[in-house]
Protein backbone atom coordinates (compact mmCIF):
# COMPACT_ATOMS: atom_id res chain seq x y z
CA UNK A 1 0.00 0.00 0.00
CA UNK A 2 1.85 3.07 -1.26
CA UNK A 3 -0.75 5.53 -2.52
CA UNK A 4 -4.37 6.45 -1.73
CA UNK A 5 -5.02 8.12 -5.12
CA UNK A 6 -6.70 4.95 -6.41
CA UNK A 7 -9.27 5.07 -3.59
CA UNK A 8 -10.15 8.70 -4.33
CA UNK A 9 -10.41 7.94 -8.05
CA UNK A 10 -12.91 5.15 -7.36
CA UNK A 11 -14.90 6.71 -4.52
CA UNK A 12 -16.48 10.13 -3.95
CA UNK A 13 -16.74 11.28 -0.31
CA UNK A 14 -20.27 12.43 0.55
CA UNK A 15 -20.29 13.43 4.23
CA UNK A 16 -18.55 12.75 7.53
CA UNK A 17 -20.66 10.32 9.57
CA UNK A 18 -18.37 9.69 12.53
CA UNK A 19 -15.25 10.83 14.28
CA UNK A 20 -13.08 9.23 16.95
CA UNK A 21 -9.97 10.31 18.83
CA UNK A 22 -7.73 9.66 15.84
CA UNK A 23 -9.89 8.69 12.87
CA UNK A 24 -12.89 9.94 10.93
CA UNK A 25 -15.49 7.94 8.98
CA UNK A 26 -17.09 9.22 5.80
CA UNK A 27 -20.06 8.08 3.73
CA UNK A 28 -18.93 7.59 0.12
CA UNK A 29 -20.18 6.35 -3.24
CA UNK A 30 -18.45 4.12 -5.77
CA UNK A 31 -18.32 6.25 -8.94
CA UNK A 32 -18.51 3.18 -11.17
CA UNK A 33 -21.20 1.05 -9.51
CA UNK A 34 -23.17 3.50 -7.34
CA UNK A 35 -22.56 1.34 -4.24
CA UNK A 36 -22.67 3.32 -0.99
CA UNK A 37 -19.83 2.54 1.41
CA UNK A 38 -17.97 3.94 4.43
CA UNK A 39 -14.36 5.11 4.32
CA UNK A 40 -12.31 5.28 7.49
CA UNK A 41 -9.53 7.91 7.31
CA UNK A 42 -6.63 7.64 9.75
CA UNK A 43 -3.59 9.96 9.86
CA UNK A 44 -0.55 7.91 8.86
CA UNK A 45 1.72 7.85 11.93
CA UNK A 46 4.55 5.35 11.76
CA UNK A 47 4.16 4.47 15.44
CA UNK A 48 0.64 3.14 14.72
CA UNK A 49 1.14 1.88 11.17
CA UNK A 50 1.57 -1.74 12.28
CA UNK A 51 -1.77 -1.60 14.16
CA UNK A 52 -3.48 -0.22 11.05
CA UNK A 53 -1.97 -2.91 8.85
CA UNK A 54 -3.15 -5.49 11.41
CA UNK A 55 -6.70 -4.04 11.32
CA UNK A 56 -6.78 -4.21 7.51
CA UNK A 57 -5.38 -7.74 7.59
CA UNK A 58 -8.05 -8.93 10.04
CA UNK A 59 -11.14 -7.44 8.40
CA UNK A 60 -9.99 -8.19 4.83
CA UNK A 61 -9.92 -11.91 5.65
CA UNK A 62 -13.27 -12.03 7.48
CA UNK A 63 -16.16 -13.63 5.61
CA UNK A 64 -19.04 -13.39 8.08
CA UNK A 65 -22.33 -11.51 7.77
CA UNK A 66 -21.96 -10.27 11.36
CA UNK A 67 -18.60 -8.60 10.72
CA UNK A 68 -18.36 -5.39 8.71
CA UNK A 69 -17.31 -6.28 5.15
CA UNK A 70 -13.97 -4.96 3.91
CA UNK A 71 -13.95 -3.51 0.36
CA UNK A 72 -10.53 -1.90 -0.12
CA UNK A 73 -7.58 -0.38 1.70
CA UNK A 74 -4.59 1.79 0.93
CA UNK A 75 -2.13 4.17 2.58
CA UNK A 76 0.19 7.05 1.80
CA UNK A 77 2.63 9.15 3.80
CA UNK A 78 -0.32 11.24 5.03
CA UNK A 79 -3.16 8.82 5.72
CA UNK A 80 -4.51 5.30 5.74
CA UNK A 81 -7.87 4.62 4.08
CA UNK A 82 -10.08 1.62 4.85
CA UNK A 83 -13.18 1.17 2.66
CA UNK A 84 -15.96 -0.86 4.30
CA UNK A 85 -19.60 -1.64 3.73
CA UNK A 86 -21.97 1.15 4.78
CA UNK A 87 -24.30 0.47 7.70
CA UNK A 88 -27.02 3.12 7.47
CA UNK A 89 -28.17 2.64 11.08
CA UNK A 90 -24.78 3.67 12.45
CA UNK A 91 -23.66 2.13 15.72
CA UNK A 92 -25.93 0.94 18.53
CA UNK A 93 -24.60 3.86 20.58
CA UNK A 94 -25.47 6.28 17.76
CA UNK A 95 -29.00 4.84 17.55
CA UNK A 96 -29.59 5.30 21.28
CA UNK A 97 -28.28 8.87 21.12
CA UNK A 98 -30.30 9.74 18.00
CA UNK A 99 -33.58 8.36 19.38
CA UNK A 100 -32.82 9.46 22.96
CA UNK A 101 -33.69 6.07 24.42
CA UNK A 102 -32.10 2.73 25.29
CA UNK A 103 -32.76 -0.68 23.75
CA UNK A 104 -35.58 -2.97 24.88
CA UNK A 105 -35.05 -6.65 25.74
CA UNK A 106 -36.11 -7.90 22.28
CA UNK A 107 -33.69 -5.56 20.51
CA UNK A 108 -30.89 -6.45 22.92
CA UNK A 109 -31.44 -10.17 22.34
CA UNK A 110 -31.34 -9.86 18.53
CA UNK A 111 -28.17 -7.72 18.63
CA UNK A 112 -26.66 -10.07 21.20
CA UNK A 113 -27.22 -13.12 18.98
CA UNK A 114 -25.67 -11.41 15.94
CA UNK A 115 -22.62 -10.21 17.89
CA UNK A 116 -22.09 -13.69 19.35
CA UNK A 117 -22.14 -15.11 15.80
CA UNK A 118 -19.48 -12.58 14.83
CA UNK A 119 -17.37 -13.38 17.90
CA UNK A 120 -17.71 -17.11 17.31
CA UNK A 121 -16.37 -16.58 13.78
CA UNK A 122 -13.45 -14.47 15.03
CA UNK A 123 -12.57 -16.85 17.86
CA UNK A 124 -12.75 -19.89 15.60
CA UNK A 125 -10.17 -18.13 13.39
CA UNK A 126 -7.94 -17.35 16.40
CA UNK A 127 -8.75 -13.63 16.49
CA UNK A 128 -9.73 -11.51 19.51
CA UNK A 129 -11.74 -8.31 18.99
CA UNK A 130 -10.67 -6.72 22.30
CA UNK A 131 -13.00 -3.71 22.13
CA UNK A 132 -16.61 -4.94 22.08
CA UNK A 133 -19.00 -2.10 23.02
CA UNK A 134 -22.13 -0.42 21.67
CA UNK A 135 -20.07 2.11 19.68
CA UNK A 136 -18.42 -0.75 17.76
CA UNK A 137 -21.62 -2.63 16.85
CA UNK A 138 -23.07 -1.37 13.56
CA UNK A 139 -26.60 -1.85 12.19
CA UNK A 140 -27.51 -2.17 8.50
CA UNK A 141 -30.83 -1.64 6.70
CA UNK A 142 -31.71 -5.33 7.02
CA UNK A 143 -31.52 -5.11 10.81
CA UNK A 144 -28.30 -7.15 11.02
CA UNK A 145 -25.82 -6.22 13.74
CA UNK A 146 -22.16 -6.31 12.74
CA UNK A 147 -18.91 -6.03 14.66
CA UNK A 148 -16.71 -3.18 13.46
CA UNK A 149 -13.65 -1.13 14.43
CA UNK A 150 -10.85 -3.66 14.71
CA UNK A 151 -8.27 -1.02 15.65
CA UNK A 152 -7.06 -2.92 18.72
CA UNK A 153 -7.88 -6.44 17.52
CA UNK A 154 -5.17 -8.96 16.86
CA UNK A 155 -4.58 -12.59 15.94
CA UNK A 156 -4.39 -14.86 18.97
CA UNK A 157 -1.67 -17.46 19.32
CA UNK A 158 -2.98 -20.17 21.66
CA UNK A 159 0.57 -20.78 22.88
CA UNK A 160 1.18 -17.10 23.62
CA UNK A 161 -1.44 -15.65 25.97
CA UNK A 162 -1.75 -11.84 26.14
CA UNK A 163 -1.35 -9.58 29.16
CA UNK A 164 -1.08 -5.98 27.83
CA UNK A 165 -3.84 -3.47 28.63
CA UNK A 166 -6.24 -3.16 25.68
CA UNK A 167 -9.79 -2.04 24.95
CA UNK A 168 -11.93 0.62 26.66
CA UNK A 169 -11.42 0.59 30.48
CA UNK A 170 -15.03 0.29 31.67
CA UNK A 171 -15.62 -2.64 29.27
CA UNK A 172 -12.49 -4.69 30.04
CA UNK A 173 -12.48 -7.65 32.48
CA UNK A 174 -10.56 -7.92 35.78
CA UNK A 175 -7.82 -10.13 34.29
CA UNK A 176 -6.84 -7.37 31.87
CA UNK A 177 -6.81 -4.62 34.52
CA UNK A 178 -4.79 -6.89 36.82
CA UNK A 179 -2.22 -7.51 34.03
CA UNK A 180 -2.99 -11.23 33.97
CA UNK A 181 -3.01 -13.50 30.92
CA UNK A 182 -6.12 -13.28 28.81
CA UNK A 183 -7.58 -14.74 25.61
CA UNK A 184 -10.97 -14.99 23.86
CA UNK A 185 -12.87 -14.74 27.16
CA UNK A 186 -12.25 -10.97 27.34
CA UNK A 187 -14.66 -10.45 24.44
CA UNK A 188 -17.40 -12.30 26.35
CA UNK A 189 -16.93 -10.05 29.40
CA UNK A 190 -17.05 -6.92 27.22
CA UNK A 191 -20.24 -8.25 25.62
CA UNK A 192 -21.81 -8.62 29.07
CA UNK A 193 -20.96 -5.00 29.86
CA UNK A 194 -22.35 -3.98 26.46
CA UNK A 195 -25.70 -5.66 27.28
CA UNK A 196 -25.93 -3.45 30.38
CA UNK A 197 -24.87 -0.43 28.30
CA UNK A 198 -27.67 -1.12 25.78
CA UNK A 199 -30.22 -1.45 28.60
CA UNK A 200 -29.11 1.38 30.90
CA UNK A 201 -27.48 3.70 28.38
CA UNK A 202 -24.11 3.55 30.16
CA UNK A 203 -21.72 0.79 31.31
CA UNK A 204 -21.56 -0.02 35.03
CA UNK A 205 -19.54 2.35 37.27
CA UNK A 206 -19.65 5.14 34.67
CA UNK A 207 -20.84 7.48 37.45
CA UNK A 208 -17.65 6.86 39.47
CA UNK A 209 -14.29 8.58 39.20
CA UNK A 210 -12.03 6.68 36.76
CA UNK A 211 -9.70 5.02 39.29
CA UNK A 212 -12.58 4.17 41.62
CA UNK A 213 -14.43 2.50 38.75
CA UNK A 214 -11.40 0.43 37.78
CA UNK A 215 -10.95 -0.61 41.41
CA UNK A 216 -14.52 -1.93 41.46
CA UNK A 217 -13.95 -3.95 38.27
CA UNK A 218 -10.59 -5.37 39.43
CA UNK A 219 -12.02 -6.60 42.74
CA UNK A 220 -12.58 -10.37 42.40
CA UNK A 221 -14.51 -10.44 45.70
CA UNK A 222 -17.32 -8.17 44.50
CA UNK A 223 -20.30 -9.75 42.71
CA UNK A 224 -20.54 -9.04 38.97
CA UNK A 225 -22.31 -5.90 37.78
CA UNK A 226 -25.87 -5.98 36.45
CA UNK A 227 -28.62 -3.62 35.25
CA UNK A 228 -29.40 -0.64 37.50
CA UNK A 229 -32.84 -2.16 38.10
CA UNK A 230 -32.76 -5.88 37.30
CA UNK A 231 -36.45 -6.28 38.15
CA UNK A 232 -37.36 -4.45 34.91
CA UNK A 233 -35.65 -7.07 32.74
CA UNK A 234 -36.47 -10.72 31.91
CA UNK A 235 -34.82 -13.10 34.37
CA UNK A 236 -33.10 -15.08 31.60
CA UNK A 237 -31.45 -11.88 30.28
CA UNK A 238 -30.25 -10.91 33.77
CA UNK A 239 -28.86 -14.44 34.22
CA UNK A 240 -27.19 -14.24 30.79
CA UNK A 241 -25.40 -11.03 31.81
CA UNK A 242 -24.16 -12.74 34.97
CA UNK A 243 -22.89 -15.66 32.88
CA UNK A 244 -20.91 -13.31 30.63
CA UNK A 245 -19.52 -11.45 33.66
CA UNK A 246 -18.07 -14.55 35.33
CA UNK A 247 -14.95 -13.15 37.03
CA UNK A 248 -13.02 -16.37 36.64
CA UNK A 249 -12.02 -16.19 32.98
CA UNK A 250 -11.40 -19.95 32.82
CA UNK A 251 -15.09 -20.55 33.69
CA UNK A 252 -16.47 -17.96 31.29
CA UNK A 253 -18.54 -19.53 28.51
CA UNK A 254 -17.45 -19.36 24.86
CA UNK A 255 -19.47 -17.55 22.18
CA UNK A 256 -20.51 -20.87 20.67
CA UNK A 257 -21.73 -22.20 24.03
CA UNK A 258 -23.69 -19.00 24.73
CA UNK A 259 -25.48 -19.24 21.38
CA UNK A 260 -27.16 -22.45 22.59
CA UNK A 261 -28.84 -20.70 25.54
CA UNK A 262 -32.62 -20.67 25.85
CA UNK A 263 -32.77 -16.87 25.59
CA UNK A 264 -32.27 -17.12 21.81
CA UNK A 265 -35.09 -19.58 21.10
CA UNK A 266 -37.61 -16.74 20.75
CA UNK A 267 -35.43 -14.77 18.31
CA UNK A 268 -36.88 -15.65 14.92
CA UNK A 269 -35.99 -12.57 12.85
CA UNK A 270 -34.21 -9.21 12.81
CA UNK A 271 -37.43 -7.25 12.20
CA UNK A 272 -37.21 -5.32 15.49
CA UNK A 273 -33.76 -4.00 14.56
CA UNK A 274 -34.85 -3.36 10.96
CA UNK A 275 -37.66 -1.13 12.30
CA UNK A 276 -35.22 0.57 14.66
CA UNK A 277 -32.81 1.36 11.79
CA UNK A 278 -35.67 2.75 9.68
CA UNK A 279 -36.63 5.01 12.59
CA UNK A 280 -33.02 6.18 13.03
CA UNK A 281 -32.65 6.92 9.31
CA UNK A 282 -35.88 8.92 9.15
CA UNK A 283 -35.37 10.84 12.39
CA UNK A 284 -34.16 14.44 12.16
CA UNK A 285 -35.18 15.43 15.69
CA UNK A 286 -31.65 15.76 17.06
CA UNK A 287 -29.99 17.10 13.90
CA UNK A 288 -28.60 20.63 13.82
CA UNK A 289 -29.16 22.88 10.81
CA UNK A 290 -25.52 22.23 9.80
CA UNK A 291 -26.04 18.46 9.87
CA UNK A 292 -29.28 18.79 7.92
CA UNK A 293 -27.44 20.79 5.26
CA UNK A 294 -24.68 18.17 5.22
CA UNK A 295 -27.25 15.40 4.66
CA UNK A 296 -28.95 17.47 1.95
CA UNK A 297 -25.64 18.06 0.18
CA UNK A 298 -24.71 14.37 0.53
CA UNK A 299 -28.04 13.27 -0.99
CA UNK A 300 -27.56 15.78 -3.83
CA UNK A 301 -24.07 14.50 -4.70
CA UNK A 302 -25.24 10.90 -4.43
CA UNK A 303 -28.11 11.70 -6.78
CA UNK A 304 -25.77 13.30 -9.32
CA UNK A 305 -23.48 10.27 -9.35
CA UNK A 306 -26.41 7.86 -9.61
CA UNK A 307 -27.74 9.89 -12.55
CA UNK A 308 -24.32 9.75 -14.24
CA UNK A 309 -24.12 5.99 -13.70
CA UNK A 310 -27.68 5.61 -14.97
CA UNK A 311 -26.83 7.53 -18.16
CA UNK A 312 -23.70 5.41 -18.65
CA UNK A 313 -25.68 2.18 -18.29
CA UNK A 314 -28.33 3.54 -20.64
CA UNK A 315 -25.70 4.16 -23.33
CA UNK A 316 -24.44 0.61 -22.86
CA UNK A 317 -27.97 -0.73 -23.38
CA UNK A 318 -28.24 1.26 -26.63
CA UNK A 319 -24.89 -0.13 -27.80
CA UNK A 320 -26.00 -3.65 -26.94
CA UNK A 321 -29.19 -3.10 -28.97
CA UNK A 322 -27.11 -1.96 -31.94
CA UNK A 323 -24.83 -4.96 -31.65
CA UNK A 324 -27.81 -7.32 -31.45
CA UNK A 325 -29.28 -5.74 -34.59
CA UNK A 326 -25.94 -6.19 -36.36
CA UNK A 327 -25.82 -9.83 -35.33
CA UNK A 328 -29.38 -10.40 -36.55
CA UNK A 329 -28.45 -8.81 -39.90
CA UNK A 330 -25.35 -10.95 -40.13
CA UNK A 331 -27.42 -14.00 -39.23
CA UNK A 332 -29.83 -13.33 -42.11
CA UNK A 333 -26.97 -12.76 -44.55
CA UNK A 334 -25.29 -15.93 -43.38
CA UNK A 335 -28.44 -17.96 -43.93
CA UNK A 336 -28.53 -16.68 -47.51
CA UNK A 337 -24.94 -17.77 -47.99
CA UNK A 338 -25.79 -21.22 -46.60
CA UNK A 339 -28.49 -21.63 -49.25
CA UNK A 340 -25.88 -21.02 -51.94
CA UNK A 341 -23.43 -23.63 -50.66
CA UNK A 342 -25.72 -26.54 -49.87
CA UNK A 343 -23.71 -28.80 -52.22
CA UNK A 344 -20.60 -28.33 -50.15
CA UNK A 345 -21.28 -30.43 -47.05
CA UNK A 346 -18.08 -29.57 -45.21
CA UNK A 347 -18.65 -25.86 -45.67
CA UNK A 348 -22.25 -26.17 -44.53
CA UNK A 349 -21.24 -27.97 -41.31
CA UNK A 350 -18.63 -25.31 -40.57
CA UNK A 351 -21.08 -22.52 -41.29
CA UNK A 352 -23.74 -24.05 -39.01
CA UNK A 353 -21.19 -24.28 -36.21
CA UNK A 354 -20.35 -20.60 -36.63
CA UNK A 355 -24.04 -19.70 -36.77
CA UNK A 356 -24.65 -21.58 -33.53
CA UNK A 357 -21.87 -19.64 -31.84
CA UNK A 358 -23.29 -16.38 -33.15
CA UNK A 359 -26.75 -17.28 -31.86
CA UNK A 360 -25.34 -18.13 -28.42
CA UNK A 361 -23.49 -14.82 -28.31
CA UNK A 362 -26.64 -13.03 -29.41
CA UNK A 363 -28.59 -14.73 -26.60
CA UNK A 364 -25.87 -13.76 -24.13
CA UNK A 365 -26.16 -10.15 -25.29
CA UNK A 366 -29.93 -10.34 -24.87
CA UNK A 367 -29.41 -11.50 -21.30
CA UNK A 368 -26.92 -8.69 -20.70
CA UNK A 369 -29.47 -6.24 -22.06
CA UNK A 370 -32.14 -7.56 -19.68
CA UNK A 371 -29.76 -7.29 -16.73
CA UNK A 372 -28.79 -3.73 -17.69
CA UNK A 373 -32.45 -2.76 -18.07
CA UNK A 374 -33.16 -4.20 -14.60
CA UNK A 375 -30.25 -2.18 -13.23
CA UNK A 376 -31.61 0.94 -14.90
CA UNK A 377 -34.98 0.36 -13.25
CA UNK A 378 -33.32 0.01 -9.84
CA UNK A 379 -31.36 3.22 -10.40
CA UNK A 380 -34.58 5.00 -11.43
CA UNK A 381 -36.22 3.87 -8.18
CA UNK A 382 -33.19 4.96 -6.16
CA UNK A 383 -33.19 8.32 -7.89
CA UNK A 384 -36.88 8.70 -7.04
CA UNK A 385 -36.19 7.83 -3.39
CA UNK A 386 -33.42 10.42 -3.25
CA UNK A 387 -35.69 13.05 -4.77
CA UNK A 388 -38.27 12.27 -2.06
CA UNK A 389 -35.60 12.62 0.61
CA UNK A 390 -34.50 15.96 -0.86
CA UNK A 391 -38.14 17.16 -0.88
CA UNK A 392 -38.51 16.22 2.79
CA UNK A 393 -35.32 18.05 3.71
CA UNK A 394 -36.44 21.10 1.66
CA UNK A 395 -39.76 21.10 3.53
CA UNK A 396 -37.90 20.85 6.84
CA UNK A 397 -35.65 23.77 5.85
CA UNK A 398 -38.70 25.82 4.80
CA UNK A 399 -40.26 25.11 8.18
CA UNK A 400 -37.09 26.30 9.92
CA UNK A 401 -37.07 29.51 7.84
CA UNK A 402 -40.74 30.19 8.66
CA UNK A 403 -40.02 29.72 12.36
CA UNK A 404 -37.01 32.05 12.15
CA UNK A 405 -39.11 34.71 10.40
CA UNK A 406 -41.81 34.33 13.05
CA UNK A 407 -39.21 34.72 15.82
CA UNK A 408 -37.75 37.82 14.14
CA UNK A 409 -41.27 39.24 13.82
CA UNK A 410 -41.91 38.66 17.52
CA UNK A 411 -38.56 40.22 18.44
CA UNK A 412 -39.29 43.31 16.34
CA UNK A 413 -42.60 43.74 18.20
Query: Which positions make up the binding site for ATP?
Result: 41
Rounded to whole angstroms, how far apart are CA atoms 384 and 156? Answer: 48
Q: Which residues pair with 157 in a beta bridge?
A: 160
- 346-368 burial code (b ≥16 CB/10 A, e <16): eeeeebeeebeeeeeebeebeee
Strand boundaries in 140-267, DSSP class E: 145-147, 154-155
Active-site positions read: 131
284-287's contacts with Cβ under 8 Å and 24+ in sequence apart are 284/396, 285/98, 285/100, 286/97, 286/98, 286/100
User: What is the CA angle 363-368-373, rounded to 5?
Assistant: 125
Q: Is 112 exposed, middle or buried (0-12, 13-18, 19+ CB in 10 A)?
A: buried
Q: Is 386 exposed, middle or buried (0-12, 13-18, 19+ CB in 10 A)?
A: middle
Amino acid sequence: MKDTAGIYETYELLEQIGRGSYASVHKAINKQTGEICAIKKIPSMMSELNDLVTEIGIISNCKCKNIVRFLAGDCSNKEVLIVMEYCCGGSVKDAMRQLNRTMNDEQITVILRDVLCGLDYLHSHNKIHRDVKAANILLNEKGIAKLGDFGVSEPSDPTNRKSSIVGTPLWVPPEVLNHEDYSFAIDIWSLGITIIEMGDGQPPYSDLEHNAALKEIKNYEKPPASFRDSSKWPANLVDFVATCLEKDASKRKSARELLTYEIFTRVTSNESIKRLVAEVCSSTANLTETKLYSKYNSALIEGIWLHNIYQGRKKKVIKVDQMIDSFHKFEREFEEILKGIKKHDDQIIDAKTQLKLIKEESQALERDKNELEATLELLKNRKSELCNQLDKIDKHNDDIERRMMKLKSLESK
